A = this chain, B = another copy of it.
């Protein structure tokens, strides 16, 4: 049995790395705070005698040998990076519960047949470098290293330079570390488990998700002396798109979601009609065909805007992660792991993207969810109780052992 107290203490210790005044974490990928958390994790794994390998894009792999070196490792983990105003559990729980699994097995002197491997994936959030799930995507061959290196944050810093700057450009070629399977424990980030009073989500898949960058270009002019009819107001056009993204999502209710999360105005002065707006659109649906229909409507809205407003509208899809269906064997291992712990479960499809979604392309994979209070995530107030964290870690351990036996 895992040690709930030790797990909670490690969550609270690492929460100080990038910790915010409001009790959240700002630990953007490849920031100094990220390096601090990585160094801490490396130390904790080394203390258990694990070999830590870092690959070219900064993914960290801590290996614990098994009785049968011929078997590919059973992997588990998540990510240590956060949103700018993120919480203390998103990603971190999956990594630290994995560490707790290793510590528990060590304490018990238990050796699995397959080697075990704890993973910390780079830049899962996509908040600093779009798209999300970049490190796991490179590992799974969805992206190549050159693509990752060329990603830029909003200050124009390249991913490749940022990773070198924090000293986490590893020697292992991308994708070279072998994984026999992957289990990822994560908070739900939605309201379902809490509403139904269940502790564990057996995650059967991940919905499809696409990101777009939209650039609306108008003409800067004086707010006081330019008649309404002579304007090309980029922000007025952008507002129409924000409203349309909402309408598109409602049209495919209840499963569809659509969000404009980021929007920037230039020159951003009270008495200048905005000349340029850049915004991102995030569209999601469990069914790729519906997602395609949503995209079609978004493109039509952008074209209509350009057609009747004198604005130039450029729309580029910058990310496409199709719907994922997890491995039946891994799902069964999670289900039996929860049953062994006597915890009430519910099958569910993840609304959020996860590293597991990309790894599912190259290895049997599934996920475990635990509740998020109020369904809140990507928020400093994100909250999961110590008991729920412990329940998740226990199911993770049970699932790994069940998979190892099978």
Contact = CB atoms under 8 A, between A and B. Distances in A.
A261 B254 contact: no
Contact of A275 (B85, B209, B236): B85
Contact of A219 (B230, B260, B265, B379): B379
A211 interface: yes
B259 A83 contact: no
A235 B352 CA distance: 20
A271 B225 CA distance: 38
Given A242-B235, A272-B83, A378-B273, A209 B226 contact: no
B265 A262 contact: yes
A223 interface: yes
A375 interface: yes
A268 B235 CA distance: 16
Contact of A236 (B223, B224, B242, B269): B242
A224 B254 contact: no
A167 interface: no
Contacts of A223: 257, 259, 261, 282, 284, 378
A221 interface: yes
Contact of A254 (B227, B262, B265): B227
Contacts of A227: 190-191, 254, 257
Interface in A152-167: none
Given A236-B242, A263-B263, 14 more contacts: A85-B266, A189-B225, A190-B225, A209-B224, A223-B378, A224-B352, A225-B350, A226-B351, A228-B246, A236-B243, A236-B246, A262-B269, A264-B268, A271-B282
